[in-house]
Amino acid sequence: MHDLNTYLFVAAILFSFGVFGVMTRRNGIAILMSVELILNAANINFIAFSRFGGMNLDGHVFALLVIVLAAAEAAVALAIIINIYNNMNTINIDEASSMKE
């Protein structure tokens, strides 16, 4: 139906949006959401190559591992962000640049 390039271009657009978000956002949670965009772009690539490489299920296993990593990363990142908020009363990443108060 559609060729591989369509999916790869969609993933490239998602990845570029994610990179833009990581670099320009100042809120920690917004940066986390941009990282999720990047991981989703990588996952689309895995599944697309799996589908157009003769329906090879190895790509599906890798996508599954990426999703699990994203879940672990979100849990730890949110715990860190809430800690920063409790200590500094802000989650602006630019202001939270010192290692110790």
Using CB under 8 A, list all residues that contact other proteins. Answer: 1-2, 4-10, 12-21, 23-27, 29-30, 32-34, 36-37, 40, 43-44, 47-48, 50-55, 57-58, 60-61, 63-65, 67-76, 78-83, 85, 91-92, 94
User: What span, in angstroms and rounded, lies between the C-alpha atoms of 28 and 84?
Assistant: 10
Give strand pairing partners of 92: 27
Closer residue to other proteins (CB): 38 or 98: 38
- Least gap, CB of 101 to other proteins (angstroms): 14
In the structure encoding, which two tokens stand for residue 101, read together? 């108060």
Q: Nearest distance from residue 96's CB to other proteins, in Å?
A: 12
Q: How far apart are CA 67 and CA 55, in angstroms?
A: 20
CA distance 101 to 85: 13
